Structure 1
Amino acid sequence: DYDGDRVDEWEISCADEVLYLDREDDDELEWTLSKKIRLNDIDGDLRSHLKEHEDPPETISYNGIEYSAESSDVGHFYENCGDEGQEFIVWDYLDSSEKRTLSIEQWGDDEHEASAGNIVEEFQFSDILPSG
C-alpha cells in the first residue's frame, strides 16, 4: 500500500468554462486553481520532446511566461473515490513568482494533458455546491 501525498481535485463548471480546484497536503496545505490547455499552445514542439526524451524539458514557455520544473510524481487517479485507480505521471512547473503553475500529465504510454493556473488560498472559495 502506497502511503504518499494526497491530492483532492474538484471539477468546477460554470456555463462553458471548466476549472479544477486541487488541494494538496505535502507538509503544508496548498491549493491551485487551473484549467486544461492544449499541448500545442505550449511553446516549442513538446510532443516531439516527450517522445524523444520521455520527460518534458526543464523549462517551458506558455502565454509569454517561462515556467521551471518543480517536481515530478507518479500517482493514481480515483474517480469519485472509486476502488481502482488509473496510474499517471505528473510534471509540475512554477513561474518565477511561484504563483503560476503549469502541469503536464501522462496517462498510459503516450497520452498527455496539460493545465495552467494559479496558487490560491482556501478563503477565496465558499459555497461550492455539487451539481445535480
Structure 2
Amino acid sequence: MGFFDRFKKKKEEPAQIDPLHDLRLDKMKVGYLVDYSAKTWEVVGFNLYEFGPRDTAEEWSLRADGALCFLERYEDDEVEWSFCKKIRIAAIEENVTKHIQQFDEPPRKITYQGTTFTLDEEDGGRYLEGGRPPGQEFLAWTFIDDEEEQFVTIEQWGENDFEAAAGFYVEEYEFTNILPGVR
C-alpha cells in the first residue's frame, strides 16, 4: 500500500448477516423465510403497533401457498407470540359493528365458528406501516376463548371502517429454519 492509498475512500462493504444474532424470529426482515406448520413462509411486510410511549407490538406479514397470515410479538411481563389471519367481520355471529356504533363499545361476548369469545382487552394506539411514522390511529378489542388459546380481534379505523382477525397463541420454538431472503 502506497502513501496516497491511505487517503482513498474505503469502499463500504455490504452489511453482513450475523447468523447467531440476526437469524432470530424477532429480527426477521422483509424477504426472510421461516418454517412453521409444515410450510415455508416468506416475510412480506413488517409493521408496528404503538399503544403508548413504551408499549409496542411488532407484526410480520407472512405469505405461503397464497395465504397471508400475521405473526405478532408483544412483550408485557413476558414475550407473547400470536398467529392470525384476517376474517370477514360478518363471519362473527353478532353484529359487532352496529353494536360499537350504537354503544361506543363492543358486546362482552361474540361467537365465531361456533366458539364463544369473551372480551379480554381494549386498546387504542397507532399503526405504523413498515414501522415508520406518522401512523394511523385505531381502536382494538381482543376476545379470547375459555381456554385462552384462541382469540378474535376487532379493529376500528375511523368511524365506520372495521376489520377482524382470528388466531391463536404460538411459541417461538415452533418457527424454525429462519433464513435471509434473496431480495
In the TM superposition, what whole-angstrom CA distance separates every residue of 1:94-127 from its partner, at most 9, and x where no partner exists? 1000000110001112211000000000111132
Q: Deviations over 1:31-72 (max 9, x none)?
A: 000000001000022222122112110101000000001010
Equivalent of 2:127 in 70, 77, 81: 77
Match of 2:74 among 16, 20, 24: 24
Greater RCO, CA 8 A, separation 6+: 2
- The equivalent of 1:61 in structure 2 is 111
In 2, Cα distance between the equivalents of 1:130 and 1:116?
28
Label 1:131 to 1:50 Cα distance change in 2 as closer, same or farther (>3 A): farther
Q: Structure 1 residues 51, 24: closer, same or farther in 2, change over 3 A?
A: same
Amino acid at match of 1:72: E
Q: Whole-Å Cα distance in 1 between the matches of residues 166 and 59 of structure 2? A: 14
Bigger drift between 50-59 and 88-97 goes to 50-59
Alignment-derived partner of residue 164 in structure 2: 114
1 or 2, which has the higher strand percentage? 1
Tell me whether 1:97 sits opposite 2:151 in the alignment. no
Residues 116, 99 of structure 1: alpha-carbon distance in 2 compared, 3 angstrom cutoff: same
2:122 partner SS: strand
Residue identity in the other structure for 1:5: D
Gaps of 5+ in 1: none
Return the alpha-carbon distance in structure 2 between the equivalents of residues 116 and 131 of structure 1. 31
Task: State the identity %.
Answer: 34
In the TM superposition, what is the alpha-carbon distance from 1:91 to its structure 2 partner? 0.4
Letter of the 1:62 counterpart: Y
Count matched residues.
131
- Alignment CA distance shift 1:124-1:55 (3 Å): same
Structure 1 residue 131, shift from structure 2 partner? 7.5
Partner Cα separation in structure 1 for residue 125 and residue 180 of structure 2? 27
3-state SS, counterpart of residue 81 of structure 1? coil
Runs of 4+ in 1 over 2 A off after TM superposition: 128-132
Map of 1:14 onto structure 2: 64
Query: Gaps (5+ residues) in structure 2?
Result: 1-51
